[in-house]
Amino acid sequence: AGKKTITAVMHSDLRVIDPGFTTAYITRDHGYMVYDTLLATDSNFKIQPQMADWKVSDDKLTYTFTLRDGLKWHDGQPVTAEDCVASLKRWGRNDTMGQKLMDFTASIEPIDAKSFALKLKEPYGLVLESIGKPSSYTPFMMPKRLAETPAGQQIKEQVGSGPFKFVQAEFQPGVKAVYEKNPDYVPRKEPPSWTAGGKVVKVDRVEWITMPDAQTAVNALQSGDIDFMENLPFDLLPVLEANKDIKIDVLNKFGFQTLGRMNFLYPPFDNVKVRRAAFLAMKQKDVLDALVGNAKYQKVCGAIFVCDTPLETDVGAETLVKGNGMAEAKKLLAESGYDGTPIVIMAPGDVVTLKAQPIVAAQLLREAGFKVDVQATDWQTVVTRRASQKPPKEGGWNMFFTNWVAADVSNPVANASVGGRGKNGGWFGWAEDAKIEELRDKFARSASADEQKKIAAEIQKQAYEQVIYIPLGQYLIPSGWRKSLTGVVDGPATPVFWNIDKSE
Amino acid sequence: MAIETLPEPSIPVTTPFRPRLGFLTATPIIAVATICLGLIIAMAIAAPLLAPHDPQLLAPAQRLKPSSVQFLLGTDAYGRDLLSRIIYGGRISLLIGLGAAIFSISIGLVIGLVSGFFKWVDAVMMRVMDGLMAIPSILLAIAVVSLSGASLMTVMVAITIPEIPRVARLVRSVVLSAREEPYVEAAISVGTSLPKIMWRHLMPNTVAPLIVQGTYVAASAILTEAILSFLGAGISPETPTWGNIMAEGRAYFQVKPSLIFWPGLLLSIAILSVNLIGDAARDALDPRMKQREAGK
Amino acid sequence: MLGYLLRRILAAIPVMGVVALFVFLLLRLTPGDPAAILAGDNATPEQLERIRTTLGLNEPLYTQFFTWIGKLLQGDLGTSLISNVPVLTMISRRIEPSISIALSTIVLAILVAVPLGVIAAWKHGTWIDRFVMGLSVVGFSVPVFVIGYLLIQIFAIDLRWVPVQGFRSITAGFGPFFERIILPTCTLSFIYVALIARMTRAAMLDVLGEDYVRTARAKGISETGVLLHHALRNAAVPVITVIGTGFALLISGVVVTESVFNLPGIGRLTVDAVLARDYPVIQAMILLTSLIYVTVNLLIDLAYTLLDPRIRY
Amino acid sequence: MTNIILDIDNLVVSLGKNPSGQRIIDGVSLQVREGETLCVVGESGSGKSVTSLTVMGLLQKGALVPTGGSVKLVGEELLIATERRLRQLRATRMAMIFQEPMTALNPVVPVGRQIDEVLRAHTDLDARARRQKILAMMEHVRLPDVERIFASYPHRLSGGQRQRIMIAMALVLEPKLLIADEPTTALDVTTQKQILTLIRDLQRDHGTAVLFITHDMGVVAEIADRVAVMRHGRLVETGTLDTILRTPTMEYTRNLLSSVPSLVPRAPRAETDEPVVLEANELGKVYRERSFFGKAREVAAAKDVTLTLRKGRTLGIVGESGSGKSTVARCIVRLIDPTSGGVRLAGREISDLSRRLLQPHRKKIQIIFQDPYRSLNPRVTVGETIAEGPINYGMPRAEALAKARELLELVDLPADAVSRYPHQFSGGQRQRIAIARALALDPDVLVADEAVSALDVSVQAQVLELLDEIQKRLGIALLFITHDLRVAAQICDDVAVMQHGRIVEQGPAAQVLTHPQQAYTKALLDAAPGRGWDFANFRPVEVAAD
Ligand SMILES: Nc1ncnc2c1ncn2[C@@H]1O[C@H](COP(=O)(O)OP(=O)(O)OP(=O)(O)O)[C@@H](O)[C@H]1O
Ligand SMILES: Nc1ncnc2c1ncn2[C@@H]1O[C@H](COP(=O)(O)OP(=O)(O)OP(=O)(O)O)[C@@H](O)[C@H]1O
Ligand SMILES: [Mg+2]
Ligand SMILES: [Mg+2]
């Protein structure tokens, strides 16, 4: 009785609850409830202390981290430096940025119960950015015994030091996940800013409810059955905007980048001319109109590393942005020797934010003179099939589409899809480009922001020339909540449930 | 000896092989159903002539427009002309219905005839059919669709498989009772071969119930396709079907109900007509019904 | 009778065997890799491989099948690949909503459809008959989700009589349970009512032509007595049969209804599992549904013996 | 002068509401007095049932409508009575029993309850009194073990017992009028006799007026006080039993009576030395009902049946229902496989041949079935049906159809019948078609399983005559199965009497049917209704014997 409970419908259902096991954003959101991070990024892209503060040695080779007081695991044990070292190592195995960091790292050792040192082999510009990275795999801290769970297995318990405790008994995958306020949590004193600052919990309980049908969830939000809905369907916004009990706002101001990726192993997209023709045929505006259809929430953006970030540039993106490349596309395709083999595009029917891209792209490609075979499947099949290196006729593919959280692709190291490692550890589609790999490496080592910016622009130029992938625009997803909620925090990894209060 | 006079007024000749189509206009309601179905089929066939726009042509900037002179029923979420999509959608939906009915009936007929006649086949076949029936059809359909992609063919197969046992059982039960009929025994005693007995003396008995079953299968296939689209495992969203127009349209239920209303209306009319015609055909073909009408 | 039961249960074993094998093969041939969904978008091939090995997905198919059967025989349904929760726990937590709507649907449908069918048969050929039949065909031809949305729009959003979605256990009180179950039940009942009403009408028409109905009339008993006591009891066997075969239909409907009304039931659990290739869950669910199917049909056969003394096993 | 209970005056029943529509009953007037039995006879479809149902008010609504005349029950007009009033009258003043005792009782309600319904609807006795009354009534109709039967379901009772239940149900409230529509047609002769006696006795005790419908002249002779003859919905003539049987005035009645076969065997044909075409040696058949796991149930339907049939001769098999007659016939034709013994056809053993090896022998033996409505495929033309056999044995289609035409003429049907469908023919015509089909293969042996039992006497006579003629012309051997001793007496050279799957007596017809050796045969003969009458000659048998 009298318990304040927030009922929220998240963007998808929570099934995997080990944040070191999957990059799924819902699991990351779960991570922020239960776990805490050493460092965090604030709204100025600055890294701030969260669980720990740090010092950098003058030679830039030793980083010393000191845990703040009052940190306790949910099982009552104090948080130790040993725990954090183990957690960082686990993350370093899983995350791309983590792996990069580990490549530069000579050792991570506890100094005493409260502090530990990270020693580099040579200076590396992204140490703090990596450890304070807001999105998945986010380096969450957990007790050593959990962090040492063998690779390929999920952790057995949900014991973190975060502001909420996970109620295991009420967890029903596909139905709901329940969190209770962690009474022992000592927040920082600073005001909250993105994932940094004080995580003050003002409610007793948070329930995440799964609703597979967006229409149902919108109905529930309108009727007050739920307090918060993370992803509002764009087309229902007019209905919700008319409702004075509901507030609509975008929490993740960078939103998402949607992109198309080709398979470099097989014709016709093994031919750069054909890829260019496809690139030139694309119009971001068409894709966004079909996907979002609301000028307020969509942004044509030629920057591979996302607009409104330090690395933004529009080099090489003119046709994407202006949509004026069709004539040239036709010409190029005619010259390329394309033999009319149909392009197999995988189209998942069960993911709302991925339905429009294949359809629009198919139409544009057809216009340019391609033959297109849109194959409808479910997302699971796409996920599996895109990993297949077989020819399109034997269960392989030519093109698929996906979305990134913009923050996750906002620099060349984090952005896996821009890589050029080919079949040797490259991202699905297996683009091979030595030059890009060289530039990415250079970027990682460079310490100055200006230089980084220059390298990023070069990468983008090269990526567009080779058509490593095609960004198809950025979009924001509005969230909605009942006005009884106050203090909803924005950021690159939202929603978070600290700082929110609920009036009766 | 004189030829007896017929004690009862003779009944007009009706056989399944030369069915009089008179039942199609037996009552005003059935006549209306026949006309509706005819119009819908004609619409589907003549889709390229009737549709004002290319049903696949996207115009994302024109999305969800209300009715206008250019787009009579407005546009869908991709800016495609709803009217054209509905007209073309009838093609695939009707094809799925027809295909599922034909497949399930022809396969079920063979299985049913054979197991109705051979005890040992029966024992094995019916266990398999039982097994198939026990699997929820919608899940089977999802599995089949993800197995080989959601093309017209696979969706049709997926919908057909669960229907086969029902048809087979129906045929089998008809055969089991018909093979006891004296005219079948008479055929045996004049040395008629088994296949010929099945084809000529047993199969015709299954026609009337199969027509009813066929209309039922056709109707439920069209609906199942809609449900598959609803669950995201339907035919490619490029290709319009009534089912996926509705399934896509449900997200805009409150904004633009016509996305569901129009295809739903046509679907209902089509299914309603098919059902009514099926019932009428059964009444016209079932000798039992006729006897009842004749009073004895 | 007991012997018959035993025989029926034994006879169900090959059915279950067929189902198990069929489903197993079908699923394993289906492309889709639970490891991929587990690992998420950014996972590397090595990570996927590691997860696959841990889950035993790299074993040969037959080994996987026999491992599964072996565990099954020991009563172990396995653990969800995705959420790591024992399958039995998952199912037992989610069975209540599904059972609730299935049962209430059957009850409601019978209460509505049987009288409709009886009246239609009694008034055979009149406008009442046509109206009932028309209604039943309409129920047959509108997709479940459309009916669901319509009911929500009218009763939950416009009239605000009931909540839009969700489920409350009956242990939390009948009121909250009932108000959340009523719309899904109505939605699901549509098609079922259509089915049963049609069958009731047809069976009643058959029976009303029988000699014993004429005998009953010749005894001078009332028309309702003739209809209910003599005709309906004899028409019950085909009606019960259609309730049984309609069960499969019900399961499909449950899947959709659960999505529309956000009921945490086993229908959605299964669809989610299929889409995520969560094999242990799917396998268990299919076994469960086929077990229910077999049981329902067994019960129906037993009901025959109660309804018709000529049927003895 | 006794009271008139039922007075039907100039009744007209039309098809549909329109009085000018087709008249099913056209100006029928009948009276039944207290304590009197009026028998209504006439060929099938003559309107007997419609008349009785009109009285009860049970005509199919909308289809058949009384459009003229009056029906009075003890002075009360029934045609204008309300539905409510009719319901009150039923079972209290008038009651009815039907032909098929199995289908006339509700299969899912215990018989006691079914009688009880009558009492509950029309009296306010309490449960105990009702039960007392029912049990008494059941004893009255001479049912054994009434307590057990009271709680039994209909399918547990024999046909005779079921019909007794129907009678008990009809008479429990002592109605003034009892209508019996062919109440004994579905029963064995022995059972029939018991039921007829029962009705007679009850009528005498209660003074009930009985309207008794039958097409069996033998039954008429047993039970009637007065007789009414109907044809095509009209009354042909009516009079006392004696008048009608001895001095019928109308041609139709005379024909009807002279069609009734005599129980006195016809003059025996000379013994011949023609070759034996068919032999059955110690034939046995055990039906096994197998179930998947359960125990098999066994019925020994035929045991040690030995028969011999020579070319051109007719052998009859008679016996009660269920005695195994059809089983023997079907074994001989190999529609079913005998479990023991052998069948020799023209000297060749065929009982153990496989389906394939049997094929060439099938054409030598053909069968005609009882039900003329079900033995022809309704969806195949008559010509195709007849030609099917010859085509199977390699005759070109055109030739086979030509042969079909010839055969149709042989059985006295127009040749243009080839392109028609079976439902366009009457029962007797269909039976001729079935005979034509059987003859199409030029068989040596023709098996007729109750081939005339479903036909009206006049038609029956025609078909029998046809068979006789064909036999003379083609020299076919005939195995004739019937439960009707009159028919057997008229057509058979030799007779075998079956009981419980065995042949109890066998010999020349004249000997077996006039001087039976076995008690069973005697009982069978005793039970034959109307055996005191020689209908064809309009006189009692004693006279004829002189
Ligand atoms: N419900 C009905 N609708 C139309 N015609 C009917 C109906 N019932 C009977 N008839 C017709 O009325 C005529 C008389 O039928 P009825 O049943 O009285 O004959 P019946 O003398 O009892 O013959 P049977 O000896 O075969 O019982 C027949 O031609 C029959 O086809
Ligand atoms: N297919 C069968 N399976 C089991 N029992 C059977 C089967 N056919 C007949 N019987 C039984 O065999 C016995 C003899 O039957 P059959 O049909 O030969 O008698 P029938 O003399 O022809 O009788 P009716 O005069 O009634 O035609 C009966 O007790 C019957 O119940
Ligand atoms: Mg009659
Ligand atoms: Mg017989």
- Inter-chain residue contact B17 with D379, CB threshold 8 Å: yes
Highest mean pLDDT among B30-44, B48-62, C58-72, C249-263: B30-44
Interface partners of chain D (CB pairs < 8 Å, 3 or more) are: B, C
- Inter-chain residue contact C230 with D109, CB threshold 8 Å: yes
Q: pLDDT at residue A230 above 80?
A: yes
Q: Which of B58, B233, B237 sits opposite A378 (nearest CB)?
A: B233
Query: What is the CATH classification number for the domain harbouring B180?
Result: 1.10.3720.10
Q: pLDDT at residue B13 above 60?
A: no
For residue D63, being part of any structural domain is answered with: no
Six token digits for residue A171: 């967890």
- Inter-chain residue contact C3 with D106, CB threshold 8 Å: no
For residue D9, being part of any structural domain is answered with: no
C105 and C179 in one domain? Answer: yes
> Going by C-beta distance under 8 Å and a sequence separation of 6 or more, which residues neighbour residue D445?
D277, D278, D309, D345, D364, D365, D366, D476, D477, D478, D479
Which residue reads 């370093």 in tokens? A92
What are the chain C neighbours of A223 within 8 Å (beta carbons)?
156-157, 160, 163-164
Q: Alpha-carbon distance D445 to D368, whole Å? A: 11
Interface of A with C in 332-351 (CB under 8 A): 350
Average pLDDT rounded to a whole number, residues A117-121? 94
Six token digits for residue A67: 């845990």
Interface partners of chain C (CB pairs < 8 Å, 3 or more) are: A, B, D
For residue B21, being part of any structural domain is answered with: no
State the Rg of chain A over Cα.
Answer: 23
What are the chain B neighbours of D404 within 8 Å (beta carbons)?
none
For residue D116, being part of any structural domain is answered with: yes
Q: Count of domains in chain C?
A: 2
Q: Which of D40, D46, D60, D219 to mutate to test the pocket of ligand 1 (most atoms within 8 A of CB)?
A: D46
Q: Count of domains in chain B?
A: 1
> Going by C-beta distance under 8 Å and a sequence separation of 6 or more, which residues neighbour residue A142?
A35, A83, A87, A155, A159, A160
Say which range, C23-32, C115-124, D349-358, has the weakest mean pLDDT: C23-32
Residue of B nearest to C272 (CA): B231
Three-state secondary structure call for residue D357: helix
Determine the residue type at D124: D
Confirm if A51 and A88 have CB atoms less than 8 A apart.
no
Q: Which residues does a 6 A CB cutoff place in the pocket of ligand 2? A: D 287, 289, 299, 301, 319, 321-327, 483
pLDDT of residue B3: 35
Average pLDDT rounded to a whole number, residues C186-206? 88
Q: pLDDT at residue B206 above 80?
A: yes
**Average pLDDT across chain D, whole number:** 89
Q: pLDDT at residue D459 above 80?
A: yes
Average pLDDT rounded to a whole number, residues A204-232? 89
CA distance C175 to chain A (A): 16
With cut-offs at 50, 70 and 90, classify the pLDDT of residue B296.
very low
Say which range, A11-20, C23-32, C184-193, D135-144, has the weakest mean pLDDT: C23-32
Residues D183-232: tens digit of each pLDDT: 888 788 888 998 899 999 988 888 899 999 998 899 999 999 999 999 99
Q: Alpha-carbon distance C14 to D292, whole Å? A: 13
Q: pLDDT at residue D474 above 80?
A: yes
- Inter-chain residue contact B190 with D60, CB threshold 8 Å: no
Average pLDDT rounded to a whole number, residues B157-178? 86
Strand (E) or helix (H) holding C297: helix C279-307
Picking from D431, D443, D279, the residue whose alpha carbon sits closest to that of residue D363 is D443
CA distance D129 to chain B (A): 40
pLDDT of residue C163: 84
Average pLDDT rounded to a whole number, residues D230-258? 92
Residues A120-138: tens digit of each pLDDT: 998 888 899 899 988 878 9
Average pLDDT rounded to a whole number, residues D175-187? 89
For residue C62, being part of any structural domain is answered with: yes
What are the chain C neighbours of A22 within 8 Å (beta carbons)?
38-40, 43
pLDDT of residue A399: 95
C-alpha D509 to ligand 4 mean position (Å)? 21
Interface of A with C in 407-446 (CB under 8 A): 408, 416, 425
**Average pLDDT across chain B, whole number:** 80
Confirm if A38 and A139 have CB atoms less than 8 A apart.
yes
Residues A75-116: tens digit of each pLDDT: 999 999 999 999 999 999 888 788 889 999 999 999 999 999
Picking from A52, A44, A231, A216, the residue whose alpha carbon sits closest to that of residue A131 is A52
pLDDT of residue C42: 60
Q: Which domain holds residue D141?
A: 103-174
Q: Which of A377, A383, A384, A475 to mutate to test the interface with B (most CBs of B within 10 A)?
A: A377
More confident residue, D250 or B60: D250
For residue C209, being part of any structural domain is answered with: yes
Please tell me if residue A389 touches chain C, with a CB cutoff of 8 Å. no
Backbone φ, ψ for residue A314 (5° rounding)? -110, 20
C157 and C19 in one domain? Answer: no
CA distance A237 to chain B (A): 9
Q: Alpha-carbon distance B13 to D381, whole Å? A: 10
Q: Which domain holds residue B201?
A: 27-51+73-287
Please tell me if residue C230 touches chain D, with a CB cutoff of 8 Å. yes
What are the chain C neighbours of D100 within 8 Å (beta carbons)?
211
Average pLDDT rounded to a whole number, residues D119-147? 92
- Inter-chain residue contact C163 with A223, CB threshold 8 Å: yes
Q: pLDDT at residue D301 above 70?
A: yes
What sign does the dihedral B248-B254-B259-B264 (CA atoms) show? positive
For residue D390, being part of any structural domain is answered with: no
Where do the H-state alpha helices sit in A337-483?
A: 356-368, 379-385, 434-445, 449-466
C-alpha D483 to ligand 4 mean position (Å)? 9
Please tell me if residue A30 touches chain C, with a CB cutoff of 8 Å. no
C129 and C47 in one domain? Answer: no
C109 and C36 in one domain? Answer: no
More confident residue, D536 or B6: D536
Picking from A87, A59, A84, A58, the residue whose alpha carbon sits closest to that of residue A71 is A84
What are the chain A neighbours of C39 within 8 Å (beta carbons)?
21-23
Last-in-domain residue among C48, C74, C100: C74
Q: Which of D18, D23, D24 to mutate to test the pocket of ligand 1 (most atoms within 8 A of CB)?
A: D24
With cut-offs at 50, 70 and 90, classify the pLDDT of residue D289.
low
C217 and C133 in one domain? Answer: yes
Give the Å distances, CA to CA, from B96 to B160, B212, B234, C117. Answer: 10, 17, 12, 30
What are the chain D neighbours of C307 within 8 Å (beta carbons)?
108
- Inter-chain residue contact B231 with C255, CB threshold 8 Å: yes
State the Rg of chain B over Cα.
Answer: 23
Q: Which domain holds residue C70?
A: 1-74
Confirm if A115 and A67 have CB atoms less than 8 A apart.
yes
Picking from A450, A401, A139, the residue whose alpha carbon sits closest to that of residue A262 is A401
C-alpha D328 to ligand 2 mean position (Å)? 10
Average pLDDT rounded to a whole number, residues D512-516? 90
Average pLDDT rounded to a whole number, residues D38-49? 90
For residue D125, being part of any structural domain is answered with: yes
With cut-offs at 50, 70 and 90, classify the pLDDT of residue B125.
confident
Residues A244-281: tens digit of each pLDDT: 999 999 998 888 999 999 999 998 999 999 999 999 99
ipTM rounded to 2 decimals? 0.77
For residue C224, being part of any structural domain is answered with: yes
Would you give the end-to-end CA distance of chain C in angstroms? Answer: 6
Last-in-domain residue among C74, C101, C126: C74
Closest residue to atom 16 of ligand 1, CA basis: D47
Residue of C nearest to D152 (CA): C309
For residue D110, being part of any structural domain is answered with: yes
Using a 10 angstrom Cβ sphere, with 0-12 exposed, 13-18 middle and 19 or more buried, the burial of residue B41 is middle
Confirm if D350 and D343 have CB atoms less than 8 A apart.
yes
What are the chain A neighbours of B229 within 8 Å (beta carbons)?
349
**Within a 10 A sphere around the Cβ of A70, how many other Cβ atoms?**
12
Q: Alpha-carbon distance B77 to B89, whole Å? A: 16
CA distance D424 to chain B (A): 6
Confirm if D330 and D336 have CB atoms less than 8 A apart.
yes
pLDDT of residue B289: 47
For residue C80, being part of any structural domain is answered with: no
Give the Å distances, CA to CA, from C139 to A87, C134, C135, C249, D317. Answer: 58, 9, 6, 13, 59
With cut-offs at 50, 70 and 90, classify the pLDDT of residue C40.
low
Predicted TM-score (pTM) of the model is 0.80
Please tell me if residue A245 touches chain C, with a CB cutoff of 8 Å. no
Last-in-domain residue among C74, C101, C123: C74
pLDDT of residue B8: 34
Residues comprising chain D, all counted: 546
C102 and C236 in one domain? Answer: yes
For residue D396, being part of any structural domain is answered with: no
SS3 per residue for chain B:
CCCCCCCCCCCCCCCCCCCCHHHHHCCHHHHHHHHHHHHHHHHHHCHHHHCCCCCCCCCHHHCCCCCCCCCCCCECCCCCEHHHHHHHHHHHHHHHHHHHHHHHHHHHHHHHHHHHHCHHHHHHHHHHHHHHHHCCHHHHHHHHHHHHCCCHHHHHHHHHHHHHHHHHHHHHHHHHHHCCCHHHHHHHHCCCCHHHHHHHHHHHHHHHHHHHHHHHHHHHHHHHHHHHHHCCCCCCCCCCCHHHHHHHHHHHCCCCCHHHHHHHHHHHHHHHHHHHHHHHHHHHHCHHHHHHHHCC
Q: Alpha-carbon distance A163 to D67, whole Å? A: 92
**Within a 10 A sphere around the Cβ of C211, how many other Cβ atoms?**
16
Q: Alpha-carbon distance D467 to D313, whole Å? A: 12
Q: Which residues does a 6 A CB cutoff place in the pocket of ligand 1? A: B 8, 295-296; D 15, 24, 42, 44-50, 60, 63-64, 215
With cut-offs at 50, 70 and 90, classify the pLDDT of residue B6.
very low
For residue B253, being part of any structural domain is answered with: yes
For residue D160, being part of any structural domain is answered with: yes
Share of chain D above pLDDT 70, in %: 97
Q: Alpha-carbon distance D99 to C228, whole Å? A: 25
For residue B12, being part of any structural domain is answered with: no
**Average pLDDT across chain C, whole number:** 83
For residue C134, being part of any structural domain is answered with: yes
With cut-offs at 50, 70 and 90, classify the pLDDT of residue D2.
low
What are the chain A neighbours of C82 within 8 Å (beta carbons)?
15-16, 173
Q: pLDDT at residue D546 above 50?
A: no
Q: Count of domains in chain D?
A: 1
- Inter-chain residue contact C256 with B166, CB threshold 8 Å: no
More confident residue, C2 or C312: C2
Six token digits for residue D530: 């109307």
Closest residue to atom 29 of ligand 2, CA basis: D322
Interface partners of chain B (CB pairs < 8 Å, 3 or more) are: A, C, D
Query: What is the CATH classification number for the domain harbouring C291?
Result: 1.10.3720.10
Residues C210-261: tens digit of each pLDDT: 889 989 999 988 888 898 888 988 888 888 888 877 776 787 788 888 888 8
- Inter-chain residue contact C83 with A17, CB threshold 8 Å: yes
With cut-offs at 50, 70 and 90, classify the pLDDT of residue B294.
very low
Please tell me if residue A216 touches chain B, with a CB cutoff of 8 Å. no
